[in-house]
Structure 1
């Protein structure tokens, strides 16, 4: 639960509109330094002021979409938010230099949506469904 003084400081820094949006989306009023943006439009922030943020919560993402989930954060930004990397991807020279040409672009997890991967079976079915054989009324079959 943020303190009242911290909430008022954030309100002054980011403005009432952004402050209200943050309360609706992330449930907290935060202000910090803009660090970068990924290919999906997500914005990443950092607040290094030690007394304002809970330790480990001083880096955060502001999602571009209203319906968001954690799979919309690319791996390089996830490693920065999780403190695996010290520098953000835009400033990390090692990450910029080591992008292999065979690497496919990152895509969010689409499970449960229309874009989800669905397998198909190429084997012939072992059990064939019963199909009734019908004849017209005038036709007689000999048995």
Structure 2
């Protein structure tokens, strides 16, 4: 349950402009410390004051794009947002040293878009569609 006092306090701290953006994107007036930003421009926030945030909802993402989904959050930031890691990736030495050298750059999941992966099929089809054979008129 959100209290009116918390709501007004967060509007005063963040300002009207950020409040309007937060209401459009996340549906809540939140205020916290920015702990980092990923390579895509997403910003990650945390508010540890128990009077301001409900426990378990004190970490959140401010997406850089208007059309966003959860696959736009890299794995290391996902672990921090979901409380798998205590420290954010810029401060966590374990996460910084964990990335193997053969790992490619992270890309979002493109399923359902034009950029989705479509495999090339080399096998013959089991069912072939019927193609009528046409004969020109008057030649029979």
Q: Report the TM-score, using the length of structure 2 for normalisation.
A: 0.91
Following TM superposition, by how much is the alpha carbon of 1:104 offset from its aligned partner in structure 2, in angstroms? 1.5
Following TM superposition, by how much is the alpha carbon of 1:132 offset from its aligned partner in structure 2, in angstroms? 3.3
Following TM superposition, by how much is the alpha carbon of 1:121 offset from its aligned partner in structure 2, in angstroms? 2.0
Q: Which residue of 2 aligns with 1:103?
A: 103
- Greater C-alpha Rg: 1
Following TM superposition, by how much is the alpha carbon of 1:100 offset from its aligned partner in structure 2, in angstroms? 1.2
* RMSD (Å), alpha carbons: 1.5
Following TM superposition, by how much is the alpha carbon of 1:11 offset from its aligned partner in structure 2, in angstroms? 1.1
The reply on whether 1:92 has 2:70 as its aligned counterpart is: no
The CA distance in 1 between the partners of 2:70 and 2:136, in whole Å, is 61
The reply on whether 1:17 has 2:17 as its aligned counterpart is: yes
Q: Report the TM-score, using the length of structure 1 for normalisation.
A: 0.89
Following TM superposition, by how much is the alpha carbon of 1:81 offset from its aligned partner in structure 2, in angstroms? 0.6
Following TM superposition, by how much is the alpha carbon of 1:138 offset from its aligned partner in structure 2, in angstroms? 5.2
Q: Given the superposition, is the C-alpha separation of residues 137 and 101 from structure 1 closer, same or farther in structure 2, using an over 3 Å criterion?
A: same
Q: List alignment gaps of at least 5 residues for structure 2.
A: none
State whether residues 42 and 62 of structure 2, in contact with CA within 8 Å, keep that contact through their aligned partners in structure 1.
Answer: yes
Q: List alignment gaps of at least 5 residues for structure 1.
A: none
The CA distance in 2 between the partners of 1:65 and 1:86, in whole Å, is 26
CA offsets 1:33-78 (integer angstroms, 9 cap, x no match): 0100011110000001012111100000001111111111111000
- More displaced, 33-42 or 128-137? 128-137
